[in-house]
Structure formats: structure tokens, C-alpha cells
Amino acid sequence: MKRLSALLRILFCALALTLCATVALAADAPNLMGTWEGVSSLHGPIHGHRSGGKALVVVIKEQKGYAFTGTKTYFNVLKKKEFSENFSGTVSSEGFVSIAEHEDGTAMGKLRADGILELQYAEPGKDAKAIHVLLKKIK
């Protein structure tokens, strides 16, 4: 009887773990489609410390499952010019985000519980810079 009871406990635990794993695997990717906007803080040897200014706009145009693509638009204060750059990215079921620009730099971040997309961006080279931005979905 003790063996049967122990066996039933083991089976019950295995079933519970299987159900938990199935629920975790079944989680959908967070929907990032839309327009996001925020003001960044940055540092680079050419730029020095900067924050504020015109908003960074990120438009996620297409998302299929965990992968997405879009465009970021920003104003470069030193060049007094607006730039747009394309990117590809992924998002995990827990909201972790990884972005690769098609020209240079990469960003990592997280879709927070409050709906804010927090990103850390890095770009190497002669125009190196590190940027932090909190993006809010505006549409």
C-alpha cells in the first residue's frame, strides 16, 4: 500500500509538472505592433551626455509570432537632421526584446508590466553611443 501511495504521488507530481510546462509553452508572444514613442538618454564620445529633445519613434510594422520588423525615426542634434533606420527583432513570451538594426547597433530590453517598452541600445565604432529609452505605445 505504501508503494502504491508513493507511486501515485510521483505520478501526480509528474502530471502537475507536465501541465505547468504545457501552459508555459503555450504562452503567446506579446503583441508589439504599432507606434511607440519616447525620449532617450545617451552618451557617446562625440555626443557627450544628452537627454530630452525630440522623441524617438519606433514603428513595428509586422509581427509573425515572436519575430517582428519595423523602423525607428530620430533627430540627430549634431547633424540637425532626422534619420530613419530599419530593424528586425524578436520578443520572448516573457516580454524580453532583442533588436538588430539593418545598418549598425543592437538593442535589448523588456516589455514591462506597465506597458512601457524599455530598451538599452549600443552602437560601436567612430560614432559609438549607448542609449536608454522608455517607449510608450501611442497607437
Domain chopping of the chain, boundaries: 34-137
Q: Please report, as a single letter, which amino acid is at residue 94.
A: E
Check: CB of residue 95 under 8 Å from CB of residue 112.
yes
Q: By CB neighbour count within 10 A (0-12 exposed, 13-18 middle, 19+ buried), where does 69 fall?
A: middle
pTM for the model stands at 0.77
**pLDDT at residue 4, rounded to an integer:** 47
Is the pLDDT higher at 99 or at 51? 99
> What CATH homologous superfamily does 34-137 map to?
Calycin beta-barrel core domain (2.40.128.20)
**pLDDT at residue 50, rounded to an integer:** 85
Q: Please report, as a single letter, which amino acid is at residue 89.
A: G
What does the alpha-carbon distance between residue 60 and residue 70 come to, in Å, rounded to a whole number?
4
**pLDDT at residue 102, rounded to an integer:** 94
Average pLDDT over residues 2-19: 50
Is the pLDDT higher at 5 or at 48? 48
Contacts 24+ apart (CB under 8 A), 128-131: 128/44, 128/45, 128/46, 129/42, 129/43, 129/44, 129/46, 129/47, 130/42, 130/43, 130/44, 131/40, 131/41, 131/42
Whether the per-residue pLDDT at 52 is higher than 80: the answer is: no
